[in-house]
Amino acid sequence: MDLGTDAPDQTEMLGPDSATWRYFGDWRGMLMGLWSGSMQNMHPKLAAGVWEYSDFFDERWERLLRSIYPIGGVVFDRTPATGKQVRDYHLTIKGTMPDGKRYHALDPDVFYWAHATFWYGNVRCAEFFGPPITEADKRRLFEESRIWYSMYGVSMRPCPDTYEEFLEYWDHMCRRVLRDHEAVRTVLDITTLPPPPWMKGWMPLWLWRRQIGGVNRLFMWITTGLYDEPIREMLGLTWSDSDERRLRLFGKAVSAAMKLVPPRYRRHPRARDGDDRAAGRVPMDAPILETPKRNLPSEAERDNPIHYCPVHATRRAQLPWQSNTVND
């Protein structure tokens, strides 16, 4: 893949003084899970890769929990090797859409869209759930997102040059490109999920099933509030002024609760590992912290890229592709 002439200098590595380290890797990001997954799958070509090939829906918890580590590692490991690892998970994901158009997971426009949901998710999360974010922080996050993206070793062509151009790009995607799809609806429905791996030992299945409907309604409400209005309209979702006020109050409660947690433990383990290396508490050449074994596939399948987010797998879809795709 051509990096392009405008690729940011990778010597400007992201580090503990960056805005990205400050906002990315916070556990509040888990509240963004349905938003991120559904927004990614609204891209017609990304949805094609997920829906035609994906086994994501057979192991959603494990895939999510194991994939957070390398995705976060692109930022916190401060080495291009992790970015290339994530990139190479996508090498074999390609095919033909029902309308005859070809897709590939490393299509620059597709790959950048997935990245946009990750970095811009930091902005959305901070706006609703904290920590407080300024307009200057948002612009700094954008500039650093270009450095972050360059670490995948793919074309920089789709990257906007300025934060204002990015906002125009985002609005264009929401209004003109993104589409509803069965993959989107499946991501948004968590009622069939089993308990997460870390919970299976202590929560009975009957209790999990009894409460999961309420959890689904809560997260669907949060996600609806996070969506841009064109996305709500596309999905047929309603959002009132009262909903907006209640979500803002909920966000303030989340922010207040997080202040009671020691700063170190507000962070995902891969982010804490990056903090420790930067502070000298862990040697820079120590083995990278990986996901617990409970989240991993069998040892024989452990290096198989089909088991990592967002679009790898071998199972063909059984449900039809929706017809409302968009032209290139």
Residue 27 in this model has a pLDDT that exceeds 50: yes
* Pick from 129-138, 174-183, 194-203, 210-219: least confident: 194-203
Residue 142 in this model has a pLDDT that exceeds 80: yes
pLDDT band at 137 (very low <50, low <70, confident <90, very high): very high
Question: Which of 12-26, 46-60, 117-131, 295-309 is predicted most confidently?
Answer: 117-131
Residue 105 in this model has a pLDDT that exceeds 90: no
At 297 the pLDDT is 65
Does any domain span residue 4?
no
Does any domain span residue 185?
yes
At 130 the pLDDT is 96
At 6 the pLDDT is 54
Nearest CA to 237 among 307, 180, 186?
180
**Chain-centroid distance, C-alpha 288:** 21
At 91 the pLDDT is 67
Question: Which of 103-112, 185-194, 238-247 is predicted most confidently?
Answer: 238-247
As a whole number of angstroms, the distance between CA 299 and CA 208 comes to 29
pLDDT-above-90 percentage for the chain: 55
25 burial type by CB count under 10 A (0-12 exposed, 13-18 middle, 19+ buried) = buried
As a whole number of angstroms, the distance between CA 163 and CA 109 comes to 17
Could you read off the pLDDT of 262-312 as tens digits, one per residue?
999 999 999 999 999 999 999 988 998 888 777 776 565 555 555 555 433
Give the CA distances from residue 91 to residues 51, 61, 261, in Å, rounded to whole numbers and listed in that order: 17, 23, 40
Nearest CA to 46 among 122, 116, 141?
116
With the C-alpha atoms ordered 162, 226, 53, 98, is the resulting torsion angle positive or negative?
negative
SS3 content of the chain, % helix, strand, coil (to 5): 60, 0, 40
Does any domain span residue 2?
no
The token duo for 319 is 């449900």
Q: What is the 8-class DSSP label of residue 12?
A: S
At 194 the pLDDT is 84
At 310 the pLDDT is 47
At 3 the pLDDT is 43
At 12 the pLDDT is 55
* Pick from 62-66, 82-86, 143-147: least confident: 62-66
pLDDT, mean over the chain: 84
Q: Side chain identity at 28, as an amino acid letter? A: R
For the chain, what is the domain count? 1
Of the two residues 247 and 202, the one the predictor is more confident about is 247
Q: Side chain identity at 83, as an amino acid letter? A: G
Q: How many residues in total does the chain contain?
A: 328
pLDDT-above-70 percentage for the chain: 83
Beta-sheet strands, E only, within the chain:
94-96, 102-104
Does any domain span residue 307?
no
Structural domain harbouring 254: 11-301
Give me the mean pLDDT over the 208-234 stretch. Answer: 96
At 140 the pLDDT is 97
At 45 the pLDDT is 86
CB 3 within 8 A of CB 155: yes
Does any domain span residue 276?
yes
At 13 the pLDDT is 67
pLDDT band at 48 (very low <50, low <70, confident <90, very high): confident
As a whole number of angstroms, the distance between CA 92 and CA 149 comes to 20
At 298 the pLDDT is 56
Does any domain span residue 57?
yes
CB 249 within 8 A of CB 129: no
CB 152 within 8 A of CB 8: no
Residue 72 in this model has a pLDDT that exceeds 80: yes
Does any domain span residue 244?
yes
pLDDT band at 97 (very low <50, low <70, confident <90, very high): confident
Could you read off the pLDDT of 174-197 as tens digits, one per residue?
999 999 988 899 889 999 888 887
Of the two residues 321 and 158, the one the predictor is more confident about is 158
Does any domain span residue 319?
no
